[in-house]
């Protein structure tokens, strides 16, 4: 047998041992960008004035009338300088965005990699406003011009998709990651209002449960950050009216923990109890650790000292406390709170659905979300505390 023949045989044996996973390891679903040409009629612009956009991968077969919309994430800007800087990047302008996106994880069109949603119409909404698709204002000092039009971008994309089949949806799921995950809390019920009354509509937030928690310096870093953001971008008018009318500080309704009790649509919360973004920017922001005592702990939780671990366990405890009412009282809700150091787990194939994906009670994230959406099983999974979970993909950074 020559070397070429040996190579073919070995390759075939490898495929047999790991199919179907490795067969598709290089199967990258590339989806082109669609600019929302009519957005200007609604005044819906990215920060720099460019048109908003999305990527649509059409459903097929039994999923042809089902829709999954995924908000892209990417942080926020809460002052003029940071928004001007952002406007010159892909986070504030479609001019700088990749025109083709890879669809993986919950966006995959492969039944072996995304068994419940692979044949749905899957849409990625590009993020270019800096306020979780919720602002409605404009800054113009004669020299600089910024459009804070996230709410109008959201509406413009919906209006573009409705005649393309979204308006006849039988099933729909609004999801998002990070700042996009927060956007699902802000827009969930509004999404439902656009769809047929008999449609099954639900919402999923991945790594979007940002907490109103003090940092290690006992400062409300995230609270003040969001307060400035809401004020600058004109967000308050678009927050849940029942929440703002019931809250002494209406701007706090930007936080999911305050908005969640007022959401009527079935909701699923996917989050790490040690969310890396919140760990690095909310719990231990650079300003609260000027001497870098947390530097090594941030890079590798295995080297955190006893005090640091205690602080991290306190963060987890507070997250579970804020979710306790939802856990007990929400009959139609679901959750998957694992103990991995990660941020956004639904769009990565390795964490969404793969042989070594993170598990809680032996369920992958994809299985938990599918069980919840389709009502196959009660799906409220809460992991034990770090470091007990050996299925984690600790995505530090």
From the list 187, 343, 346, 357, the catalytic residue is: 343
Q: How far apart are CA 149 and CA 240, in angstroms?
A: 17
Contacts 24+ apart (CB under 8 A), 305-312: 309/386, 311/216, 311/283, 312/274, 312/279, 312/283, 312/386
Question: Could you give phi then psi for residue 130, rounded to 5 degrees?
Answer: 80, 15
From the list 175, 178, 330, 346, the catalytic residue is: 178
What's residue 5's pLDDT? 39
275 is catalytic: yes
What's residue 13's pLDDT? 35
Q: How far apart are CA 75 and CA 239, in angstroms?
A: 18
The number of residues in the chain equals 397
What's residue 396's pLDDT? 67
**Bond preceding residue 387 cis, omega within 30 of 0:** yes
Please measure the distance between the N-terminal and C-terminal CA atoms of the chain and give it in whole angstroms.
Answer: 48
As beta bridge partners, residue 53 has: 35
Are the beta carbons of 187 and 263 closer than 8 angstroms?
no
Are the beta carbons of 255 and 226 closer than 8 angstroms?
yes
Return the SS3 of 49. Answer: coil
Q: How far apart are CA 23 and CA 131, in angstroms?
A: 39
Which parts of the chain have pLDDT scores under 70?
A: 1-27, 396-397
Q: Give the DSSP H/E element, type plus range, for residue 370.
A: helix 365-373
From the list 129, 275, 289, 383, the catalytic residue is: 275
178 is catalytic: yes
Of the CA atoms within 13 Å of residue 307, those in its CB half-sphere come to 3
Six-digit token string for 39: 């957005």
Q: What is the CA radius of gyration of the chain?
A: 21
**DSSP tag of 114:** S
Six-digit token string for 377: 């099983």
Q: How far apart are CA 392 and CA 379, in angstroms?
A: 19
Six-digit token string for 396: 């530090």
Return the SS3 of 147. Answer: strand
Q: Is 95 exposed, middle or buried (0-12, 13-18, 19+ CB in 10 A)?
A: middle
Q: Give the DSSP H/E element, type plus range, for residue 156.
A: helix 150-161
């Amino acid at each position: 047998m020559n070397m070429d023949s040996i190579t073919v045989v070995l390759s075939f044996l490898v495929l047999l041992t790991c199919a179907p996973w490795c067969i598709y390891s290089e199967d990258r679903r590339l989806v082109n960008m669609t600019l929302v040409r009519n957005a200007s009629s609604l005044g819906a612009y990215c920060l720099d004035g460019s048109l908003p956009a999305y990527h649509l991968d059409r459903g097929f077969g039994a999923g042809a009338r089902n829709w999954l919309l995924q908000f892209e994430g990417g942080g926020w800007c809460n002052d003029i300088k940071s928004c001007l800087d952002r406007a010159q990047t892909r986070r504030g302008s479609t001019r700088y965005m990749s025109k083709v996106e890879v669809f993986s994880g919950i966006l995959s069109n492969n039944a072996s990699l995304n068994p419940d949603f692979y044949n749905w119409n899957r849409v990625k909404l590009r993020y270019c406003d800096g306020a979780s698709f919720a602002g409605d204002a404009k800054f113009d000092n004669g020299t600089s011009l910024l459009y804070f039009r996230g709410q109008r971008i959201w509406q413009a994309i919906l209006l573009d998709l409705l005649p393309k089949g979204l308006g006849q949806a039988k099933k729909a799921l609004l999801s998002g990651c990070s700042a996009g995950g927060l956007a699902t809390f802000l827009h969930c019920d509004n999404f439902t209002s656009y769809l047929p009354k008999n449609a099954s509509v639900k919402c999923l937030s991945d790594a979007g449960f940002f907490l109103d928690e003090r940092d290690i310096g006992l400062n409300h870093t995230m609270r003040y950050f969001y307060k400035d953001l809401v004020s600058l971008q004109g967000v308050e008018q678009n927050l849940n009216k029942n929440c703002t009318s019931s809250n002494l500080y209406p701007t706090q309704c930007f936080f999911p923990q305050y908005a969640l009790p007022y959401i009527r649509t079935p909701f699923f919360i996917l989050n790490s109890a040690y969310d890396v973004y919140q760990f690095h920017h909310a719990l231990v922001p650079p300003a609260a650790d000027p001497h870098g005592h947390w530097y090594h702990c941030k890079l590798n939780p295995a080297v955190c000292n006893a005090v640091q671990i205690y602080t991290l366990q306190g963060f987890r405890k507070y997250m579970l406390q804020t979710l306790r009412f939802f856990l007990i009282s929400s009959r139609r809700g679901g959750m998957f709170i694992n103990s991995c150091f990660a941020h956004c787990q639904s769009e990565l194939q390795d964490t969404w659905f793969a042989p070594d994906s993170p598990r809680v009670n032996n369920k992958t994230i994809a299985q938990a979300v599918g069980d919840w959406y389709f009502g196959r099983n009660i799906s409220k999974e809460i992991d034990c505390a770090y470091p007990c979970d050996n299925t984690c993909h600790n995505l530090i950074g």
